Structures are given as C-alpha cells and as structure tokens.
Amino acid sequence: MNILILGYGKMGKIISEIAEGRGHHISGKINIENTSDLENLDPTQVDVAIEFSQPEAAFGNISWCLEKGVPVVSGTTGWLEKRGEVEGLCLAKNGTFFYASNFSVGVNVFFKVNAFLAKLMKDQAAYKVSMEEVHHTEKKDAPSGTAITLADGVLDKIERLKEWTLDQGQPIKESQLPITAKRIDPAPGTHIIRYQSEIDEIEISHTAHSRKGFAEGAVLVAEWIKDKKGILSMDDFLSF
C-alpha cells in the first residue's frame, strides 16, 4: 500500500517506520519545510494518507486529500472547529475521512470506562469531577484532544455539568468540568479523571509509555479504511 505522511515530526517518523516495517511504501513525507510539494504530488500514487501535522495545517491537508479522492486518517488535534466543514466535504466528494483524538486501543477502551463511570456517577452530586492531563512540552494545544474526548464522555452522562474549562486558576463554576493541563518532558501522555467528595475519592487513569501505540494504531486504521467510504471513527474500527 502507498501511504502519504502528512506531518513528519516525531509521530510521523514513527508512523513511517512502522508502515515500512509492515511492508508499505511511503509515497511522500510532507512537513512545514516542504508544504509546496503537496501540490505537485500525484494523488493516483497514494492509497491512503496519514495526517499528524499541526493544528494550523490540518484543515488544508485533509481538504487536499478529500478533493483529490485520497482516503485520509487524521490524528491532529486543536483544529476541530472546522471538523464540520471537513465532514461536509467528505460527504460531498463521496470520500473517506477517519478522525480520532487517540489511536491507541488502550485509550479507546479507557474512553468506554470513563463513560461508564460517568453514567454510574450522574446522580452523585456530592462528588466534584475534575480532570488532569500531562503531555510533553512540544504539544501546542491544551487541553489535549484526548482530554476533550474524555470530557465530552463525562458531559454526555452528567447533566449538572454543562461544559469543560481549562483550569488556569480562575473560579470554577458548579456547572463546569475543570481540566488541568501540564506540559512536562518526557511525557507521552497521562489522563486522570477524579470524582472527589468529603468522604472519599474515585480516580481512573491511563498512562502511555511511548508514542508507538498511537502510531501503530494509525497504520492499522490506514490499512483498514483503504477501500471504505464515509466518515469513520475508532468505534467503527474496533466495532464497539
């Protein structure tokens, strides 16, 4: 399979290594230094694109793929205010767009555990809910896309919480889920959800030991979507 790598930073390099190790050919590696090469790339020589770039580049990268009929797998966070436009373009072009805030199988199981716990705690108003996430210092967006997905899982189940907010020392409303975002090296990613009362505390957490799980998941998804159409997610891939 011919794979185009959009975003050749740390994640892109690991993805490239894993893909080649699985017998795939890398048909292009696009990063901030050679973005003009994308316009000269022959899309017929690309079976699927894997997009792990920067927030400011993601929309353009994904749109190029959909316009050219190239299935695209994206894991870039921090650009999702334009997700609706991308999904509309995907449908209009009868294309293939797969997005996940995290491609790790373990994290996606953790999403389900988080939602289940939130459902159990939805009527337990004595418990204050909070979240903490830790990533490496090169991660630009805060909170992380994974943290936002986890927050949405809580908000979907607990009606007294109306929105999440990044905790930067400001007063937190009763209706807000505070997220503390820390940037510490080296830290591939830790996410903790706490339910705290005067009596006790419940905590669930997930810690990634390396980026390999994310990268390997992205390559497996790329193999899976090659001949599929539509807007797809990890729920589709894992058949949750």
What are the strands, taking DSSP E only, across 57-200? 72-74, 96-99, 128-135, 163-166, 176-183, 189-196
Please give the pLDDT value at position 117. Answer: 98
The CATH architecture that domain 105-208 belongs to is 2-Layer Sandwich (3.30)
In degrees, rounded to 5, the angle at the alpha carbon of residue 68 between the alpha carbons of residues 67 and 69 is 95
Considering only CA atoms, which of 61, 10, 13 is closest in space to residue 38?
61
Q: 130 phi and psi, to 5 degrees?
A: -145, 165
Other beta carbons less than 10 A from residue 36's beta carbon? 8
Rg for the chain (alpha carbons), in Å? 19
Please give the pLDDT value at position 240. Answer: 59
pLDDT in tens, the chain (240 residues): 999 999 998 899 999 999 999 999 999 999 988 988 998 899 999 999 999 999 999 999 999 999 999 999 999 988 999 999 999 999 999 999 999 988 998 999 999 999 999 999 999 999 999 999 999 888 778 898 899 999 999 999 999 999 999 999 899 999 999 999 999 988 878 999 999 999 999 999 999 888 888 899 999 999 999 889 999 999 999 885
Helix (H, G, I), strand (E, B) or coil at 66: helix
Please give the pLDDT value at position 239. Answer: 81
Q: Which residues are catalytic?
A: 135, 139
The CATH architecture that domain 2-99+212-238 belongs to is 3-Layer(aba) Sandwich (3.40)
Please give the pLDDT value at position 145. Answer: 87
CA atoms within 13 A on the CB side of 105: 8
Q: Residues 144, 9, 57, 29: is their CA dihedral positive or negative? A: negative
How far apart (Å, rounded) are the C-alpha atoms in residues 59 and 173? 33
What's the token pair of residue 47? 């079976």
Domains of the chain, residue spans:
2-99+212-238, 105-208
